[in-house]
Amino acid sequence: AYQDLPMATIEAQDLRGMISRFRVLIMGRANAGKTTILQKVCNTTDQPEIYDTKGKKVRVMIYDIHASTADQSRRGNHDITNEMVFTSNPTFVFHDSCGFEAGSEGEFEDMKKFISDRAHATKLEDRIHAIWYCIPMDDHWRTFQRSEEKFFQECDTGHVPVVAVFTKFEALQPVAYGEIKKQLRGVSGKARSKRIAERVEELFSRTGVLDRLYNPENHARPKSYMNQQNTNCDTLLENTTFALDNEELRLCLVSTQKSNLELCIKCAIA
């Protein structure tokens, strides 16, 4: 009966009974730092357990979110519908988009269909509630590649919020240092760190990635973005929480994550 009601009419306590798990689609190229993000969110160093659509466990020993698309295809693990669950926090369910980033049109269409199907799924627990798009900064001259361009220009995510996560941000530090090395001679440690941090932000700005992400012609535009520098992903969880378009889903996410007391307080008083 609840499944036909608008989200805003559902009481939070009823929603928690209906949505026992918060579902996220994580996207990005191979080696974009996706596994690290998920491990930090779930406060673990373990690899996830993988389940197919029938709830059957996929052999974890041969699954590798870091692997190239060709490797994953050969191994038979290349399926966006598979669910990734960490035993440290099984109330999070993750899907990995691995595939379309390598340029396969078929995989791109599969990804679009998955998002459309899961964004409008009849059962709330089957819907994806957020999309995290990881963009690595270790090749800052080629930050926004064809895969990002294709997704943001052509993929309509509907009501599902997209949060852009700039990973491997620390890779900009040696580049920034190299650019201002001569200017740093004789500069003290704290001032030196500040100057390098400022140059890192300049480098990030010069990539033009934000202009491309927020192009008004894009079908998908991030509700927010973050530079993944902190160790526990609190900023990612906070940005995701407030990118959600209704209070009930916010409460669902807050109750799902276990480590961010400050977020619980912010959500309660928002």
DSSP 131-166: EEEEEE-TTGGG-S-HHHHHHHHH---TTS-EEEEE
Rounded-to-integer distance, Cα 182 and Cα 224, Å:
36
Q: 114 falls in which pLDDT band (50, 70, 90)?
A: very high
At residue 100, the pLDDT reads: 64
Percent above pLDDT 90 for the chain: 33
pLDDT of the residue at 181? 92
Alpha-carbon span 100 to 109, nearest angstrom: 8
Q: Residue 13 corresponds to which amino acid?
A: Q
| pLDDT of residue 226 exceeding 60 | yes
Report the phi/psi class of residue 29: left, alpha or beta, with left for phi > 0 and alpha for psi in -120 to 50: beta
254: confidence class by pLDDT, cuts 50, 70, 90: confident
Q: Which residue has the tokens 């779930």?
A: 42
| Tens-place pLDDT, residues 24-55 | 999 988 888 899 899 988 989 999 999 998 88
Residue 5 CB coordination number (10 Å): 11
pLDDT of residue 27: 92
Q: What is the predicted pLDDT for the residue at 267? A: 52
pLDDT-based confidence at residue 12 (cuts at 50, 70, 90): very low
* SS3 state of residue 96: strand
Average pLDDT over residues 187-213: 91
Residue 251 has pLDDT above 90, yes or no: no
Instruction: Output the average pLDDT for the chain.
Output: 80
Residue 260 pLDDT more than 60? no
Average pLDDT over residues 89-97: 92
Residues in the chain: 270
Confidence of residue 108 (pLDDT cuts 50, 70, 90): confident
